[in-house]
């Protein structure tokens, strides 16, 4: 049996035309599916790619990571070149790195950062329209920042989980929420140790309702305590969401 080499891939993609990260039997339009198809052709044997997490349909990534074990050993530059040659133009691998067998893109991750973009102008910028949520109403940044302070820390985020049948723990650590605003363009940046299904989009929708004055900043404490999805705000649409980066405490030593 051929020696297997574990690789860490760092990639970016425009999720507009994809049905999310996770491969599906009923769809050929997934990021994982595209990667596995190209890599299978490369090594002439089926492979399985493990992502750091599943981005939803329509969600983008600036720094998604994935790990994959391939038979034999390939130079990182060779693997990178092959992937980028055969992957569609809206998926790009930024880096390939041979790592120890124990590394796993999802299980080894300790921190992720997401950014959500909202444009409150009367009409979205023509060239950025696929990557922002057009919401032509003024938002109170100060009120949203006040509400965000109640959300940081270790909490049960069940109210902010889109999976009502979630059986695993919904406790997560949200290290920081940063809200930036320039010329009516808001960016909500979330950093934490892990995120539930639709969590960032529900957090954003809830903060936006605070920004509109529909909810008070302090009410997010009650939303957390309720542990009920219906208590939180709306789910912001996918086009404004980006997975910015995935961090690891230490990537196990390279092989080769």
Hey, what are 195's tokens?
């995120």
Q: Which residues, in sequence order, are CB contacts of 14 under 8 Å at separation 6+?
A: 60, 90, 91, 130
- Annotated catalytic residue 56: yes
CA angle (180 as vertex; 221, 194 as ends), nearest 5: 55
Whether the Cβ atoms of residue 52 and residue 64 lie closer than 8 Å to each other: yes
Q: Choosing from 14, 19, 56, 119, which is the catalytic residue?
A: 56
Q: Which residues are annotated as catalytic? A: 56
């Amino acid at each position: 049996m051929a020696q297997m080499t574990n690789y860490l891939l760092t990639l970016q993609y425009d999720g507009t035309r994809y049905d999310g990260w996770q491969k599906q039997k009923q769809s050929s339009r997934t990021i994982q599916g595209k990667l596995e198809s190209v890599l299978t052709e490369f090594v002439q044997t089926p492979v399985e790619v493990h992502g750091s997490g599943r981005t939803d349909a329509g969600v983008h990534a600036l720094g998604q990571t994935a790990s994959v074990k391939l038979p034999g050993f390939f130079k990182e530059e060779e693997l990178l070149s092959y992937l980028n040659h055969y992957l569609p133009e809206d998926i790009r691998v930024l880096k390939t790195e041979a790592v120890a067998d124990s590394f796993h893109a999802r299980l080894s991750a300790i921190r992720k950062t997401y950014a959500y973009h909202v444009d409150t102008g009367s009409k979205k910028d023509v060239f950025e329209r696929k990557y922002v949520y057009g919401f032509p109403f003024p938002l109170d940044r100060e009120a949203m920042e006040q509400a965000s302070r109640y959300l940081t820390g270790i909490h049960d985020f069940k109210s902010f989980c889109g999976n009502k049948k979630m059986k695993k723990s919904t406790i997560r650590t949200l290290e920081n929420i940063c809200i930036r605003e320039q010329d009516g363009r808001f960016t909500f940046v979330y950093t934490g140790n892990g995120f539930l299904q639709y969590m960032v989009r529900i957090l954003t929708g809830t903060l936006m309702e605070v920004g509109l004055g529909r909810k008070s900043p302090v009410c997010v404490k009650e939303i957390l305590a309720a542990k009920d999805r219906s208590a939180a705000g709306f789910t912001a649409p996918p086009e404004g969401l980006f997975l910015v980066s995935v961090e690891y405490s230490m990537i196990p030593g390279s092989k080769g």
